[in-house]
Structure 1
Amino acid sequence: MDGRTKEESNGVLGIGRSNSEGNNLGSRGEGSLSGNGMVRADQIDLRSLDEQLDGLFARLPTRALDTGTPRENWEIDLSKLELKNVVAHGTYGTVYRGTYDNQDVAVKLLDWGEDGIATSGDTATLRASFQQEVAVWQQLDHPNVTKFVGASMGTSNLRVPLNNSSRDVQPSFPSRACCVVVEYIPGGTLKQFLIRNRKKKLPFKVVIRLALDLARGLSYLHSKKIVHRDVKTENMLLDTQRTVKIADFGVARVEAQDPRDMTGTTGTIGYMAPEVLDGKPYDHKCDVYSFGICLWEIYCCAMPYADLSFTEVSSSVVAQNLRPQIPRCCPSSLANVMKRCWDGNPEKRPEMAEVVSMLEAIDTSKGGGMIPEGQSPGCLCFGRARGP
């Protein structure tokens, strides 16, 4: 899913896929620990759940799947899970709204079909990798990160609803399924919120508050050695209090000790750092770059590079240092954060903890937000008014 499509879709749990990595998990072997006890990044890629487990769980023996007894502390009790209605569809799965143990949840259901290719060794390797990925995710606990509830490795007795109140297409009954369950966030995506405010823009205080929520969530992930790799406003959810919560860990991974172990154009065009676009080694600073683009988007309530094709954006960001144009009405304190975050040299980008400090130091009492459409003719940035 790129930044130009499905902006108005519900983003409870992202199911659209970004650009795939050059190396897949299935060819790397099962998960392992490095010498210092940290999980190897090249073994942690939740995207493999969508793209590489297709059909593999169908080959597992029924007795290994339907024991009815959780084998891991993250494995859900399917008798407590109820799927209600479809929220969104994707290439490799369907997101339902439902309840788990009387808690509102979003459930990403992945249906694996028979492919006749996977060996028992492949199945064991991918199963171990998925267990490792979920074990990392379930340890995350932060107010600006969507809360993981649990997962199921595969089952044949999920109660899929017959009636679909949000789509005409009837859901199928999976013979073998895998699901990931997270807290349900009712406020939609940050992208949707910005689109609704594209004309009147946001008060400067709201801009900084939203930016701080996202920055604090990313700082927490980085402190846990987690690189999100697909930071964009479409992957951020808003709760009823408009608190930003980072979602869609479909391509998140634990950071490698050696940046050369993290390669591949993973992410969404327009938000991807130059080193990622160029296929070079990268680290958590790719998230810092993406945050800079999101910060511009939050301030402007506009889409970056709206008039350019993906190819033009990709080549220009790398070869010509293309970045979104910062409006003249943007306070220098905020513009400085954007510029530092999207610096072409990853080593010059600040850590997210420093970004949090910079945003906290910005004075919002005098305004400084974008000038609403219609308030001044032509460019939105030349009027005398300073915006809300």
Structure 2
Amino acid sequence: MATSSRYSSPIHDLKFADLNFHETIGEGGCSTVSRVTFKKKYHGIKEAAAKNVLNLRKDEVLIFEQLNHENIVKLLAFIEEGPIHLILLEYTPFGSLYDYFSKDPSKAISKKLAKKWATEAGLALHYLHQRNVIHRDIKSSNCLIFPVDLLKISDFGLAREIEGSHATSSEKGTWRYMAPEIHNASRFSKPSDIYAFGMLLLEIQSRELPFGEKNEWQFIVYKVVSEGLRPDIPHSCPKRLARLIHLCWKADPKKRPDIETVLMHIEGTFPLHIKPDQRPQALCALDHYLAVCMKHNVAVYDTQKEDLSRPEFLLQSPNWIDHNPRDIASVLNTFCVVATSTCGRYLYQFPCAMSTQETRRIPIQDCWTDAYCVTANDKVVVVGTVDKELIILNLPDFTFLNKIKLQSWLQGIDMGPHFCLLNDQDKLILRHQSDLNKTVTEVPLPTGWYCRAVLFQPTSNDEEMFAPIVAVCGKYDAEEGRIDKYEWDDKKNMYILSECIQDGFPDPAYRGLAITSDGCIAISFDVDSVIRLY
């Protein structure tokens, strides 16, 4: 007797005799997969992948029929006729990620496509974990490519619904992707899926199998369990992605991130905790600390910590409530905030948390309009005003030194080892620190883009004349944002766009940008949040 309708399939009353079998497209230990076509038209579906399962567990069908997600291969029907058990699935002629990488391992894929596939696989796993389903066999051969490079995960032969935190079974996935706890006790869990997902991220980045083509799997498994062995991550892998992969590979399952956190890392975002009434105004970095200037205080976060749900400490001033904070900079190992009020324009100098130094309030002389941006080196503080002026103050006493008139209103300002960087919206302007009146060079932005925040990337070599520049840009007439890196080209004697660090932001309305000593890049939005990028 054939059964299919009881599995809520769009194909009803389907029988084995209704199918034409073609080439085999996949084989496993307990099943083979063939491409099939239909002798009659069935709901507009021309072909399918037929999985012939030797030892069918109804779990796979029952789990599959409940799933409906664009990044999960759809169950079309289930046929059971005597000893024959067929599961009909969506068919794709493009094969799997494993097939794609195996055809030409040297073929590079774009960062955009790699991110797309990683995100889509993550969204599928997130959907499963929300429904308390663990896949248990996440790997490149179970990630199928559909038209327009859409990725879907498949093969739920090992999938299980879990009660509590884990499921136990003697059936296991592929050794390259299996977490240490599975080798020890066959204890599957959501974190074990995360471990395998980390291997998948590595494979998408390197286009090679985890641990390469090595066959001594028993020796490798022993090393994985007893010595913490993990595959090598190529030097070409971005640091923030390598950091994420290592988090997924933690030996302790409790220390691995959940899939929601993994997705945020892939997207390049990780929210800091900001109270709804504390709208972020600007931010700056001091070593590995990130200071977020808000309405009534400055929240300081330690970016070396995994948990950023609360700030490390707050910087507050009794007079703060009467002022509108506009920008913040690190000055002589302190935080310096420029703020305005009806009674004046001030710099507030906050000491570090462990310092006994008191907060200073310094009037900004010869500044009669709103001061909105600030930067500094170890000799001077430079304040930008709405009146197209630069106010320069001497350090350490903050005495007035000079005032420079500009041609246009600035979006932002930063001080590097040798130059002062001015953000003139559609171009970046470099002026020498010894003569802020003179422009050294200009850096045009790509056509149609404007800059919202800019800074020099910290470098260990202070002798480097032209330090790399990081710019947060938005697109005219479009809600689109990106972060670009510019580097000096000696041959062309100019800055060139060398890398898009992150793109795809829905809204380019940024207020600030900071880079900490551990490579964390943080952006302040015009909403009640701050994100950090690795």
TM-score between both structures, scaled by the size of structure 2? 0.46
Query: How far off is 1:141 after superposition?
Result: 0.8
CA deviations over 1:273-327 (Å, ceiling 9, x no partner): 0100112533111110001011111101112212541112210111111111112
Contact 2:60 2:158 in 1 (8 A): no
Q: Does 1:290 align with 2:188?
A: no
Q: Could you say what secondary structure the match of 2:120 adopts?
A: helix
Q: Does 1:359 align with 2:302?
A: no
Q: Does 1:281 align with 2:187?
A: yes
Alignment match, 1:303: 209
Q: Does 1:109 align with 2:46?
A: no
Can you give the 5+ residue segments of structure 2 that lack an aligned partner in the other structure?
Answer: 270-481, 485-498, 502-534
CA deviations over 1:74-93 (Å, ceiling 9, x no partner): 48422594233032445544
The residue type paired with residue 50 of structure 2 is V
Alignment match, 1:98: 36
Q: Which moved more, 1:352-361 or 1:274-283?
A: 274-283
Q: Could you say what secondary structure the match of 1:282 adopts?
A: strand
Q: 1:144 aligns with which of 71, 82, 87?
A: 71
Distance 1:318 1:73, change over 3 A: same
Distance 1:331 1:138, change over 3 A: same
Q: 2:127 aligns with which of 220, 245, 269?
A: 220
Query: How far off is 1:71 after superposition?
Result: 4.5
Contact 1:201 1:300 in 2 (8 A): no
Q: Could you say what secondary structure the match of 2:175 adopts?
A: coil
Query: How far off is 1:111 after superposition?
Result: 6.1
Q: Could you say what secondary structure the match of 2:48 adopts?
A: strand
Q: Quick one: distance in 2 between partners of 1:281 and 1:76?
A: 38
TM-score between both structures, scaled by the size of structure 1? 0.63
The residue type paired with residue 142 of structure 1 is H
Aligned ranges for residues 165-314 of structure 1 at < 5 Å? Answer: 176-259=83-166, 261-264=167-170, 266-306=172-212, 308=214, 309-314=216-221
Query: How far off is 1:236 after superposition?
Result: 0.8
Q: Does 1:87 align with 2:24?
A: yes
Alignment match, 1:346: 253
Contact 1:264 1:279 in 2 (8 A): no
Root mean square deviation of aligned Cα: 2.7
Q: Could you say what secondary structure the match of 1:86 adopts?
A: strand
Contact 2:4 2:14 in 1 (8 A): no
Contact 1:265 1:279 in 2 (8 A): no
Aligned ranges for residues 330-341 of structure 1 at < 5 Å? Answer: 330-341=237-248
Distance 1:320 1:142, change over 3 A: same
Distance 1:337 1:153, change over 3 A: same
Q: Does 1:73 align with 2:11?
A: no
Query: How far off is 1:151 after superposition?
Result: 0.5
Alignment match, 1:11: none
Q: Name the count of aligned residue pairs.
A: 267
Contact 1:147 1:183 in 2 (8 A): yes
The residue type paired with residue 19 of structure 2 is E
Contact 1:342 1:349 in 2 (8 A): yes
The residue type paired with residue 281 of structure 1 is R
Alignment match, 1:31: none
Contact 1:265 1:276 in 2 (8 A): no
Query: Which structure shows the bigger proportion of residues in helix conformation?
Result: 1
Aligned ranges for residues 149-160 of structure 1 at < 5 Å? Answer: 149-155=76-82
Query: How far off is 1:247 after superposition?
Result: 0.8
Q: Does 1:329 align with 2:236?
A: yes
Distance 1:350 1:179, change over 3 A: same
Q: Quick one: distance in 2 between partners of 1:263 and 1:95?
A: 24
Query: How far off is 1:232 after superposition?
Result: 0.6
Identity of aligned residues (%): 29
Query: How far off is 1:72 after superposition?
Result: 4.7
CA deviations over 1:163-193 (Å, ceiling 9, x no partner): xxxxxxxxxxxxx311101111221010111
Q: Which moved more, 1:73-82 or 1:177-186?
A: 73-82
CA deviations over 1:323-348 (Å, ceiling 9, x no partner): 11112232111111101111111111
The residue type paired with residue 181 of structure 1 is L
Alignment match, 2:506: none
The residue type paired with residue 269 of structure 1 is W
Q: 1:134 aligns with which of 61, 79, 82?
A: 61
Distance 1:85 1:288, change over 3 A: same
Q: Quick one: distance in 1 between partners of 2:7 and 2:266?
A: 40
Q: Quick one: distance in 2 between partners of 1:217 and 1:142?
A: 7
Q: Could you say what secondary structure the match of 1:316 adopts?
A: helix
Distance 1:316 1:341, change over 3 A: same
Q: Which of the pair has the greater relative contact order for Cα pairs under 8 Å at 6+ separation? A: 1
Alignment match, 2:479: none
Q: Quick one: distance in 2 between partners of 1:91 and 1:272?
A: 17
Query: How far off is 1:268 after superposition?
Result: 0.5
Q: Quick one: distance in 1 between partners of 2:140 and 2:20?
A: 27
Q: Could you say what secondary structure the match of 2:148 adopts?
A: coil
